[in-house]
Amino acid sequence: MAFDKYRHYENSVQTPEEHVRIFESMFFQIRRKEALRLREDFCGTFLISCEWIKSNKLRTATGIDLDPEPVAFGRKHSYSKLTSTQKRRLDLRLQDVCVPTPDKHEIIGAGNFSFNIFKDKKALKKYFSAARRSLTPDGIFVLEMAGGPGFIAKGREQKTYTMPGLGKFTYYWDQKSFDPITHFGTYAIHFKDRHGVMHKDVFTYDWRVWSIPELREVMLECGFKDTKVFWEDPGPDGSGTGEYVAMEKGDNAFAWIAFVVGIK
């Protein structure tokens, strides 16, 4: 059987139930009510959207991606497992995230650092402005980002998984290059499959590594009223609780993930 890159990606990189929990918690912390309408930007196989609509029968989701290939994979797999009423609450759009959607959303979320594809401020502003226009009046725009010295240092991390249907396989995250002058970085994901066959550069990323203050400033320039940074609550022993809370000072971790939120 041919190597199935999206199944390996979904089973190593993604934890959609965590994103749903984090998105709903951030909206509740900011608006003190439950969010029902999500737009998942750069949705790929749209796992978060599927999880969102399964989490509450009133919830709707719109997944947006330019590439028909991962969306077709999602339709064949996750979408086909949804009930007919769940399917009716899910809208999939093959389009550029820089074009506003006619329907409005309480949360627009972009997972796994995908907005780093925008290499300059002009491109980033086009995206942020389009997202702002696609929010409800009380909507929030959530960017998942990563940083710290451990995110720009050259190096490779690996983790082995055993999953039904895929067997034992290894995921590699490869930080290939980073330029401190431009902040351009190249990254790749490789997999070694259950048969020990190495699949190199299965996914590659050519990014600009934006900083938190840059994102906050650009959000304000695009008309967002306020911004917040949700940083992982370190917990009593400092090892991280998996809960993200709004903070104005972070610990200087070697590598971190945070959520930068624009408030309409």
Residues near ligand SAM, by CB under 6 A: 13-14, 42-44, 64-67, 70, 96-98, 111-112, 114, 117
Nearest approach, Cβ of residue 104 and ligand SAM (Å): 18
Query: Which residues are CB-contacts of 45 (< 8 A; sequence separation ≥ 6)?
Result: 6, 9, 10, 70, 71, 73, 74, 77, 78
Nearest approach, Cβ of residue 55 and ligand SAM (Å): 17
Nearer to ligand SAM, 120 or 237 (CB): 120
Nearer to ligand SAM, 44 or 139 (CB): 44
Query: Which residues are CB-contacts of 163 (< 8 A; sequence separation ≥ 6)?
Result: 11, 169
Nearest approach, Cβ of residue 144 and ligand SAM (Å): 8
Nearer to ligand SAM, 40 or 106 (CB): 40
Nearest approach, Cβ of residue 196 and ligand SAM (Å): 26
Three-state SS for 42-86 is CCCCCHHHHHHHHCCCCCEEEEEECCHHHHHHHHHCCHHHCCHHH
Q: Which residue is nearest to ligand SAM (CB)?
A: 44
Nearest approach, Cβ of residue 238 and ligand SAM (Å): 27
Nearer to ligand SAM, 94 or 198 (CB): 94
Nearer to ligand SAM, 10 or 232 (CB): 10
C-alpha distances (whole Å) from 260 to each of 143, 215, 231 are 5, 7, 9
DSSP H or E stretch at residue 110? strand 105-110
Nearer to ligand SAM, 226 or 261 (CB): 261
Residue 248, phi then psi, degrees to nearest 5: -110, -5
Task: Using the structure block, give the residue that is written with the tokens 């930080």.
Answer: 175
Nearer to ligand SAM, 114 or 227 (CB): 114
Name the DSSP letter for residue 113. Answer: T
Contact 22, 244 (CB under 8 A): yes
Contact 27, 35 (CB under 8 A): yes
Nearest approach, Cβ of residue 176 and ligand SAM (Å): 16
DSSP H or E stretch at residue 245? strand 244-246
Nearest approach, Cβ of residue 64 and ligand SAM (Å): 6
